[in-house]
């Protein structure tokens, strides 16, 4: 049994997920909290729900997904996990953050690297890591087969897909990632995307206009 709590943070309306098991062992995916109000909302939830945070993960290194990296790793003294192929994407945020109006960005780089061979384990949860390039070169998705859910970052959205036109992006690669790594999952799997509402694999196979 696991629970996924969604927050939508920063001007780019990014979904930050707090994921925890029945014993309240948890981790955060893509902390997009930027101002103190957003940081407080996240902190109050963690405290009031009594969650023992053990890690934070970035699905990829784009600014809207990493604005809160520094805050959460320092507030809870937890490691930041990411995929090595996206390290340069994360490094470049510091350079372009001011041009997006995020003058308060504090850089925090990966402490530990995710691998495709080994599941990411927190408490009783085991998450498979799949590499899904095309929106960002080192983009990964997390899949929990037991709970039938997938945290997909900016790869697959409800009736849409991630932008392929950012540095390191490539449309055919993105479509191939979705077809080979996500559409091979059961139709019942719930998708928790980086923006917008949750959806399912079955729904997107039927209705996603980019994948017909
Ligand atoms: Zn992105």
Rg of the chain over CA atoms, in angstroms?
16
Distance CA 210, CA 36 (A): 37
- Give the tens place of pLDDT for each residue, 49-72: 999 999 999 999 999 999 999 999
Give the model's confidence band at 23: pLDDT under 50 very low, under 70 low, under 90 confident, else very high. very high
Token pair for 25 = 């062992």
Q: Facing residues of 53 across strands?
A: 26
Distance CA 140, CA 133 (A): 7
Task: Round the average pLDDT of the chain to a whole number and report it.
Answer: 98
CA of 136 to the centre of ligand 1 (A): 7
Which region, left, alpha or beta, applies to residue 159 given φ > 0 means left and ψ of -120 to 50 means alpha? left
CA of 54 to the centre of ligand 1 (A): 24
Give the model's confidence band at 3: pLDDT under 50 very low, under 70 low, under 90 confident, else very high. very high
- Give the tens place of pLDDT for each residue, 165-197: 999 999 999 999 999 999 999 999 999 999 999
Distance CA 187, CA 168 (A): 29
Q: Facing residues of 200 across strands?
A: 190
CA of 42 to the centre of ligand 1 (A): 21
CA of 53 to the centre of ligand 1 (A): 24
Indicate the domain borders of the chain. Answer: 2-211
Report the percent of the chain where pLDDT is more than 70.
100
* CA 202 vs CA 76, 85, 212: distances in Å: 37, 29, 13
CB 59 within 8 A of CB 141: yes
CA of 50 to the centre of ligand 1 (A): 30
CB 86 within 8 A of CB 61: yes
CA of 113 to the centre of ligand 1 (A): 19
Cβ burial 92-116 (10 Å sphere, 16+ → b, else e):
ebeeebeeeebeebeebebeeebee
Q: Is the pTM of this model over 0.85?
A: yes
CA of 89 to the centre of ligand 1 (A): 10
Distance CA 192, CA 82 (A): 18
Domain 2-211 has CATH 1.10.3720.10: no
Q: Tell me, what's the pLDDT at 167?
A: 92
What average pLDDT does the segment 80-108 reach? 97
What average pLDDT does the segment 116-127 reach? 98
Give the model's confidence band at 45: pLDDT under 50 very low, under 70 low, under 90 confident, else very high. very high
Distance CA 126, CA 169 (A): 29
């Amino acid at each position: 049994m696991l629970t996924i709590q969604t927050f939508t943070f920063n001007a780019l309306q990014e979904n930050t997920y707090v994921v925890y098991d029945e014993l309240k062992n948890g981790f955060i995916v893509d902390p997009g909290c930027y101002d103190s109000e957003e940081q407080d909302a996240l902190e109050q939830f963690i405290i009031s729900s009594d969650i023992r945070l053990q890690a934070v993960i970035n699905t990829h290194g784009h600014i809207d997904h990493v604005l809160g990296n520094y805050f959460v790793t320092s507030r809870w003294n937890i490691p930041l996990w990411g995929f090595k192929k996206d390290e340069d994407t994360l490094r470049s945020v510091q350079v372009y953050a001011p041009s997006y109006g995020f003058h308060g960005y504090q850089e925090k780089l990966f402490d530990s690297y995710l691998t495709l061979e080994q599941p990411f384990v927190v408490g009783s949860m085991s998450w498979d890591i799949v590499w899904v390039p095309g929106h960002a070169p080192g983009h990964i998705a997390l899949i929990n087969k037991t709970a039938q859910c997938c945290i997909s970052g900016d790869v697959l959205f409800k009736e849409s897909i991630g932008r392929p036109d950012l540095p390191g992006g490539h449309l055919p690669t993105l479509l191939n990632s979705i077809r080979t790594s996500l559409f091979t999952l059961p139709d019942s799997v719930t998708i928790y995307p980086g923006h917008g509402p949750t959806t399912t694999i079955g729904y997107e196979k039927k209705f996603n206009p980019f994948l017909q």
